């Protein structure tokens, strides 16, 4: 009986031999971090009013009409909110497998007629976990036939990047004269952050907008759900089952 081991690649018995068993050591469940995905989940709210106050509030996205009853300065504010877990989703972990695999091989009697057929060092094995090996086979290895995972997660991928707009910290605001936001905006679109609360919107001539502006177009930067690493091992618990004790000659 022979044992061959190869990290990450399932070993095969050489020609002229047959497989007796397969097992392994050091189990892991792998995550393909390139499969991070999901949709951005921002909620946008705009407050608006005049004369330095923002009593009205709208949480609808896209092109939304609004106006104030007072003349004078047109003011706006907004708040941005996103649940990080709702924006980027981690991939599902693969089924648990062993980092190092082994196969037990037995030479086919037909290929060894007329002599002794040796393909490597000799080993003996039996199912179960046994602490001692016979003196002639002192090299002991404990293998397992499979592994069972529980509460496995690919959060180790670290999906998402705060610098890419993952947390929706900015919004682009453009005001239009038309209620359906067609044509060119009344000024260059302006970028606002969450800290810009109830501030004036300046038009293309440098004046603050007044109540005859009919609607606003809101755009939120998309989330980047990519990960810096290609593959990571899943977190969680792995239990090895089906022990097999292998004892080999020196």
- Concatenating the DSSP letter of every residue in 142-174 gives EEEEEEEEEEEE-GGG----GGGTTT--EEEEE
- Concatenating the DSSP letter of every residue in 188-246 gives --EEEETT--SEEPB-TTSPBP-TT--EEEEE-PPP----S-SEEEPEEEEEEEEEEEE
Give the N- to C-terminal CA distance of the chain in Å, as an integer. 14
Cα–Cα distance for residue pair 250/234, rounded to 1 Å: 36
Does position 248 have pLDDT exceeding 70, yes or no? Answer: yes
Q: What is the per-residue pLDDT for 148? A: 94
Lowest mean pLDDT among 10-19, 53-62, 229-238: 53-62
Helix or strand run (H / E) with residue 86: helix 84-87
97 with 7: CB under 8 angstroms? Answer: no
Cα–Cα distance for residue pair 64/213, rounded to 1 Å: 11
Does position 41 have pLDDT exceeding 60, yes or no? Answer: no
Does position 241 have pLDDT exceeding 90, yes or no? Answer: yes
Evaluate if pTM is beyond 0.85. no
pLDDT tens by residue, 144-160: 999 999 999 998 898 87
pLDDT tens by residue, 176-186: 777 777 788 77
Does position 227 have pLDDT exceeding 80, yes or no? Answer: yes
User: Could you tell me what percent of the chain has a pLDDT over 90?
Assistant: 26
Does position 212 have pLDDT exceeding 60, yes or no? Answer: no
Instruction: Look at residues 197, 213, 166 and name the one whose alpha carbon lies nearest to residue 63.
Output: 213
């Amino acid at each position: 009986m022979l044992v061959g081991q190869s990290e990450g690649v399932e070993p095969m018995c050489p020609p002229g031999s047959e497989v007796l068993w397969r097992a392994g050591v050091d189990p892991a469940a792998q995550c393909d971090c390139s499969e991070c995905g999901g949709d951005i989940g921002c909620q946008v709210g705009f407050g608006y009013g005049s004369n330095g106050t923002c009593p009205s509030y709208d949480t609808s996205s896209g092109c939304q009409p609004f106006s104030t009853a007072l003349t004078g300065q047109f003011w706006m504010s907004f708040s941005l909110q996103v649940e990080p877990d709702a924006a980027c989703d981690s991939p599902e972990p693969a089924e648990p497998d062993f980092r190092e695999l082994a196969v037990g091989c037995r030479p086919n009697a037909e290929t060894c007629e007329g002599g002794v057929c040796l393909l490597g060092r000799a080993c003996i094995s039996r199912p179960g976990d046994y602490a001692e090996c016979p003196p002639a086979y002192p090299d002991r290895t404990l293998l397992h036939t499979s592994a069972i995972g529980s509460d496995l997660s690919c959060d180790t991928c670290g999906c998402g990047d705060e610098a890419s707009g993952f947390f929706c910290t900015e919004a682009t605001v453009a005001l239009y004269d038309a209620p359906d936001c067609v044509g060119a905006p009344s000024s260059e679109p302006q970028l606002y952050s969450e800290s810009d609360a109830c501030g004036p919107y300046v038009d293309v001539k440098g004046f603050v907008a007044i109540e005859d502006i009919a609607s606003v177009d809101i755009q939120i930067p998309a989330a980047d759900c990519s990960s810096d690493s290609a593959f990571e091992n899943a977190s969680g618990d792995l239990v090895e089952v089906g022990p097999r004790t292998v004892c080999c000659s020196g």
